[in-house]
Homo-oligomer: A and B are copies of this chain.
């Protein structure tokens, strides 16, 4: 089994390509910009364990101090920076990493403990509120940072203190009578420990992750009580003391996916980022453990929860989480597009979590349904999270703006999980493009999940295989592959045929092609005789719509993996966030090459001429005695100019945007 982390190291993205341009921006602009933010806000120096004035601020939301995640903000930035530093030397970044590592080392306590808040602000309270206080979440991000640091610098500068901290955690948590039978409110350490295990092969790292996963949701984990209930009691909290962000239902720990053991959870619930990080760890565990009943049950749960999510709780853009209150999942098919229609959260980190989960699922089961969603999220719900200039970010990604929440980005957030998460995702991007395996000493299998200009080099014994994709995807659907391989090595390729594709052609032709679970197998002899070939998947603008049970009565435009939106910059007549627009879906969708949006990228826009008519809704102080709304049309038509959703909010304007547009009622 390959370490999935290792794939990225071999992937190269040409600078003048879709992802290459963005990765260059992250490396040259975003990383220094975010470093500056870390410094300005106090995060950079926080591991010095001095008091920061903001530590005295009352929490925005009880019981979570505003600075509680600072450790992870720094860790995620280090992780992302290390990925890029392996590819390009950046002296300022390198220097900052070194300084941060020194500060982190200096912040470690005698026994290995390593956490800013519980050392400076609440010493003596460590591990007393796993439910809400993000201690193990921070630890998980430190582990991931240490792994990236280790892979980049080949030193133990960060890994060493982190391993010492992990040793403390191993002593602290577990089924022993002297140990805490607990697990984090915000999963993250589980997936981090499994990544760590792939590098260390230390069974204790695997076992601690496995313990956190199997203990989670145990209704009688501590003296017949749920761990979180026992913990709450031990803190002396009262009956009515609950965070306001908890859902109100009969399962108080649904917020943290701890209302039931993972294997008994029928639907995906609660805080969306937590759910994704948790399931990513479960999938990773399934990839690591041999077959057996426990694994089967976990795999069944992954299928069940994945299906529930993608079939009933995912937006057209790949965004997840309709409910702002708990930043997470609502009921099945409840997917309004915006705050003023009832909710829409779709946090950037949650979409990143879907990508992480899909990548792990592809390791245990090669099925294009996972890669389809991974691609959908990457190009839409994730990519929209950063501005084209690399200096502004989103937290939530609604599908329609409103006066309450404009379509816009910000340079930073007090709870700053999303910006550095985007950076590290871009760093790790190669890991999502393909998966390779060396089956026998001379056989390489490469599963290609995403099409994009990139190349991968896989070492085989003393030799190596290089596979290159040339394409301007997603502008067009033509991809040219070239394979360089020594004569003694056999290369088998599996090419994903996307779920949205209506047809595909291989050139030269492959006789009797086999597509299984959405992947076209290209066998070694054919690769040998055709080391350069192309795949064409025609892309045309098409209409898409949410599931009818969402009761949205809207249509949207998509093309290949890209979901489109309308925004005010291209539709200057808009005054109401496109709320009153009725989209005539019988109008043909015309593709337009747009060079006016970004200086360095040609975008395929879509225009529907005169496709917009308008509801005429008089303001009235009376009760509504309407007839079905089709009769209420104003005498006016406009064209609809669509651009990719990811490109929104890059050109100023009024912040008005919409993905799904009202259709006529018949």
Q: Mark A96-140, 1 if CB is under 8 A from B, else 0.
A: 000000000000000000000000000000000000000000000
Collect the chain B residues with CB atoms within 8 Å of residue A242's CB.
Answer: 240, 242, 244
Is A89 on the interface with B (CB-CB < 8 A)?
no
Given known contacts A241-B241, A549-B617, A617-B548, is B499 in contact with A622 (CB within 8 Å)?
yes
A558 (CB) vs chain B CBs: closest residue = B625
CB-CB under 8 A from A62, the residues of chain B are 239-240
A508 located at the interface, meaning its Cβ lies under 8 Å from any Cβ of chain B in the complex: no
Q: Which residues on B sit within 8 Å (CB–CB) of A303?
A: 621
Q: Which residues in chain A, 291-330, are within 8 Å of chain B measured between CB atoms?
A: 303, 306-307, 310-311, 314, 325, 330
Q: Which chain B residues lie closer than 8 Å to A239 at the CB level? A: 62-63
Q: Which of B376, B625, B628, B632 contacts A585 (CB 8 A)?
A: B628
Interface size class of A (residues with CB under 8 A): 35 or more
CA distance A623 to B248 in the complex (A): 28
Q: Name A614-663 residues within 8 Å CB distance of B.
A: 615, 617, 620-630, 632, 662-663
Decide yes or no whether A49 CB sits under 8 A from chain B.
Answer: no
Return the contact of A622 from the options B334, B339, B369 (Cβ within 8 A): B369
Given A248-B325, A665-B665, A623 contacting B546 (CB threshold 8 A): no
**Cβ of A544 under 8 Å from chain B:** yes
A630 to B237, CA, bound (A): 53
Contact B545 A629 (CB under 8 A): yes
Cβ A330 vs Cβ B311 within 8 A: no
A160 in contact (CB, < 8 A)? no
Q: How far is the CA of A620 from the CA of B63 in the complex (A)?
A: 40
Q: Which residues of B contact A629 (CB under 8 A)?
A: 545, 547-548
Q: In the complex, what's the smallest C-beta–C-beta distance from A608 to chain B, in angstroms?
A: 14
Q: Is the CB of B548 within 8 A of A551?
A: no
- Chain B residues contacting A664 (CB-CB under 8 Å) are 665-666
Say whether A525 faces chain B, with CB atoms less than 8 Å apart: no
Interface set, chain A 221-264, CB cutoff 8 A to B: 237-246, 248
With the chains together, A665 CA to B584 CA distance in Å? 11
A630 vs chain B, min Cβ distance (A): 7
Could you say which residues of chain B place their CB within 8 Å of the CB of A306?
621
A336 contacts the other chain (CB 8 A) = yes
Question: Is A471's beta carbon under 8 Å from chain B?
Answer: no
Cβ contacts under 8 Å, A243 to chain B: 240
Question: What's the number of copies of this chain in the assembled complex?
Answer: 2
Could you tell me if B624 and A311 are in contact, using CB atoms closer than 8 angstroms? yes
**How many Å lie between the Cα of A385 and that of B555 in the bound state?**
38
A191 at the interface (CB under 8 A from B): no
Interface residues of A in 419-434 (CB under 8 A from B): none
- Smallest CB gap from A372: residue in B: B623
Chain B residues within an 8 Å CB radius of A389:
none
- At the interface, yes or no: A332 with Cβ under 8 Å from chain B? yes
Using CB atoms, name the residue of chain B closest to A548: B629
Assess the B314–A665 pair: CB atoms within 8 A. Answer: no
A331 and B336 contact, Cβ closer than 8 Å, known pairs A244-B248, A553-B553: no
A513 on interface, CB distance cutoff 8 Å: no
Q: Is A543 an interface residue (CB 8 A)?
A: yes
Judge whether B624 and A555 touch: CB under 8 Å.
Answer: no
A373 CB–B CB distance under 8 Å: yes
Determine if B549 and A240 form an interchain contact, defined as CB atoms under 8 angstroms apart.
no
Distance between A325 CB and nearest chain B CB, rounded to angstroms: 5
Instruction: State A331–B402 Cα separation when bound (angstroms).
Output: 13
* CB of A500 closer than 8 Å to a CB of B: yes
Given contacts A244-B248, A622-B499, A666-B663, contact A543 B342 (CB under 8 A): no
The answer on a CB contact under 8 Å between B314 and A330 is no
Closest to A404 in B: B331
Closest residue of B by beta carbon distance from A132: B240
**B-contacting residues, A439-460, CB 8 Å:** none
A307 to B626, Cβ gap below 8 A? no
CB-CB under 8 A from A610, the residues of chain B are: none
In the complex, what's the smallest C-beta–C-beta distance from A402 to chain B, in angstroms?
10
Instruction: Please indicate the chain B residues that have their CB under 8 angstroms from the CB of A630 in the complex.
Output: 666
CA of A239 to CA of B238 in the docked complex: distance in angstroms?
11
Residues of B within 8 Å of A218, CB to CB, are none
Residue of B whose beta carbon sits closest to that of A632: B548
Is A30 in the interface zone, CB < 8 Å from B? no
Contact A500 B625 (CB under 8 A): yes
The reply on A90 being an interface residue by CB < 8 A is no
A sample of 15 cross-chain residue pairs with beta-carbon separation below 8 angstroms, ordered by A number, consists of: A238-B241, A240-B242, A242-B242, A245-B248, A248-B325, A311-B622, A331-B342, A336-B342, A341-B551, A376-B623, A545-B629, A546-B626, A547-B624, A549-B617, A663-B666
